[in-house]
Every structure is written in structure tokens, then in C-alpha cells.
Structure 1
């Protein structure tokens, strides 16, 4: 079982001048410990939760990953996940390609339908109905795949029209950066996983629920003629404090591994210094997690 680290808050320590060195040190500790993937959110405002507010610091995601790429050498890098409405698809393919080239072939395209309407309205991002977001998501996936292929010709879609799909340099990753679609929606999200993605990222809402979502994905794969086993299964584990409930977390990880899940993502706990959290993960979790699977 692999481990990913999802870096979701920039407010600890409180001094904005410490955001960059804390991020760099956290990434360095994670990579040295054997964390397989480093991800950040694609938000302009911090999410509203019982423990966070929109006024907390938030960095633009791909700029942040570019910084992390410069201070690491092995970890996979992606947003978890790109909001489909936040960038034009051709530009998104170019951004991910740039990250891949500058990171030495470590970029992945994590993408989802986007949902946070407050930040969209605040910064002038178009707010469209959910059904349209998913239609745009599918067109975006098709555009990215074409940009990363030998077809440099036009793309004519309902929402996007590209006169050329030229992308030079090509990504270093062969044949292209892997696509990971985040979310658990059974009718649309998991269908898109079956049709386009190399990996899914499900919410860690419990073993029974994850098993159900994977059954739904298996059915979509059968309908699309896709090999279910070819899709990597990953789970975002953010609903419990990992270090405080380590034995429970590891027991659940064993059950998820039996379902075919190969990677879990954990998040630095509320109020914890991310560097210290990652050091404890390295000492207490990673050695035991590596024995699972």
C-alpha cells in the first residue's frame, strides 16, 4: 500500500513568510520517507469547514506544484483535483505538460467537476449548472488526450473549439501524464473514470462505501469495454485523525487493500505543523503501511 500526502492548509505556521519554507521542508521529509505522491488543492479560497474559513491563506495550485517540483526529485505531483472550470482545456494541457517537463516526468492530471461557487463568483470564474460542468469535463479530457497525442489538428466540441492542438515540447511521461479523476458520483464521475482515467480517487467514507463505489466503477468498465483492473484505485482519507487512531487506520487500510486500493492519501491534521505531522507519519505509519498489500 502506497501513501500520498495531501497538503491542504497554508495557515500553520501563521506567518505568510513561512509558507514557502514549510512547504519545501514538508515535501522533502515526505519524499525522503517514501511518500509516493504529493498533492495540493485547486482552490482560490480555503474551504469553509468547522475548522477553517475563506480568509485563510490559499495558494494557486499549479504554481505551488512547480515550486514543489523544484525541491523534490521522485514523488508524483498533481492537484487533487483540478477544477474543470478554472482553466481553458488547451491551457490546462499545456500547464500539466510544463509541470511534467520541469519535474522530470512526474506530473499527473488530477481533475474533477469543480464545486466551490463562492470562489468562482468572487474571482469571476463562470458558474454553470452541474450537468454542463460534467459535459465540459468530458470535453476537457478529450482535449487533453488529443494535445498529448500525435494529432495536432483542430478540436470541435460543444463548449470548446481549438484551431490547433499543438503541444511542444511533449510531456516526458510516456505515453502521456496519467489522468486521475476525483469524486464518487456514480452516474457521471465514475463513468468518466471508466472511459478516460488511469486512476480514480474516492473519498474515504468507510470500507463498505468504497466497496460499493468500486462495484459501480466495475459496472461502468464493463459497459465501456474497459479493463477494470487497469485503473488504479486510490482513496482520500481525511475523516479521522490518522496519528491518533493509527491502529484503526491501518486495519481499514488492510480491508481497502483487499478491495484493490493501492494508495491512500492523508492530510496534515488541523492545527498541526505540516513538517512535524509528516515526520510522525514517516516514523509511525509508513513502515507499517508498507507491509500491507
Structure 2
């Protein structure tokens, strides 16, 4: 096992890309590698506080993009998986992200994450049909677009895809569903309860009457997402990541298809897409 105690420290069997003069972590943060050939990428402008980041096994990759907010994470990335977090996501409490069985978690830019959120790609124990003896709970990636709002205590399970601009209500359990862009989904199991909405990141806690009146209308299309032809989307990025054999190969996909993919509607999910389950079986 290798432990990263400070930025700038060199490891023998794993790789950390970070500029120690432009990113920080506090003394309450633990970063560990239990295997080899894994990669942790920390862009400039990252501040990690009260977090645990563990790359379990071999050839895992965790990518933390620059952020004007503080990262608070509980991360476990197992062998041959990828966790990518885009730019300027706000974590109100420690979000728990667990990737297993060669599947990935992708989070776009500018999201809002409340307290007590869990995201995982596996159950993780094996479940079989009594009739056929075949496994019925294969692991699958969890994919989130840009500007998503995940409410307190939400549980996002294997096979979940959330389109840009959408809201997942507090306490919701989302499993194996594609949630369309600009919708609200809530409940257990989660269902779409409102369509054609967008949210703004202003916080109402201290609003007086005048400010509430001011924000009764927001004349903006900034957070409204539409269908258009894009080179890469959530489904294709995950497909390409699953096909890679090494962490360096996964990093190349991340840089090309996520970091250098500025299109506004890149992670749009429409209602027709949401009626199909995203099932990937690249390991066969």
C-alpha cells in the first residue's frame, strides 16, 4: 500500500498528477493506493477537505477537476474503474462514490450535491435466478450530466443516468433508470414528477420579501438543455472507458472526451432515451 501524505510526494507503483503550489489537502484527508498502476489527477485549483480517497487494486483512475468550492469526498475506486468529477461541483457534505467491477462514475460540471449522498456501480454481492442459475445483478456505470442537483440522502445505484439540468429529490433511490434532462425525479423507486424545469444555484435561506419578489422570474436559457448532434455523450464516453485496459488509456479518453468537450448539450438525455435502459457488457 502507498499513502500520499502531501502533494509533490512521489510514489513507486502509482502516479499522482498535481501541482503542489496550486492545489491543497488538509490533515484530515487520507489518500491511499492499495495496488499498482493507478492514477490520481488533481487539476490546479483543487482544495480537498475531510476526505478519504482510496484507489483499491490496480489500474484505477480518479480525476478531480478544478473547483471554486471545496471537495468533500469518500471515494473507493476499485480495479479497472474510473471516477471523473467535472468542474465547480458543490459538495455540501461528504459524498460517497464507489466504483466496482470495471464500471465508472462520471459527473459533469457545476452540480449541487447535498448531504448523505451515495453513488455506487455494484450491489456488490452476487444475486442469481433460482430458475436459470444465471446472475441477475450485473454491475453498471452511473453517469451524471452538467448542472445536476442531487438532494439530501439520495442513493444513485448501478445503471443510473441523469441528464444535464435535472434534479433528484431528497431521499430518492434511482436504480437502472435514465432521467431526462430538465426534469425532477423523486421517490423510492424514483419517478419523474415534473418536466420542463431548470434550477438556479442561488440559496433562499436568508431571502427577505424583496429578494423573493426579485427571483419570481428568471429570464435565462443558460440551464435549458436541448437535443443536438454531439461528438461525445455520457453513453459513448462510458463505452470508451469500459473498453480501455490501462489507467493511462482511460486518462486519454477522459482528456479527449470530457475535459476537452465544451459543448453545452453534450450530456443531454431525452425522453426517448430515458425509456431504454443503458446496459453495457464490454467485458464479454
Is this a same-fold pair by TM over 0.5?
Answer: no
TM-score of the aligned structures, taking structure 1 as reference length: 0.27
Question: Which structure's residues are more often strand, by fraction?
Answer: 2
Question: Which structure's residues are more often helix, by fraction?
Answer: 1
Bigger relative contact order, structure 1 or 2 (CA pairs below 8 A, ≥6 apart): 1
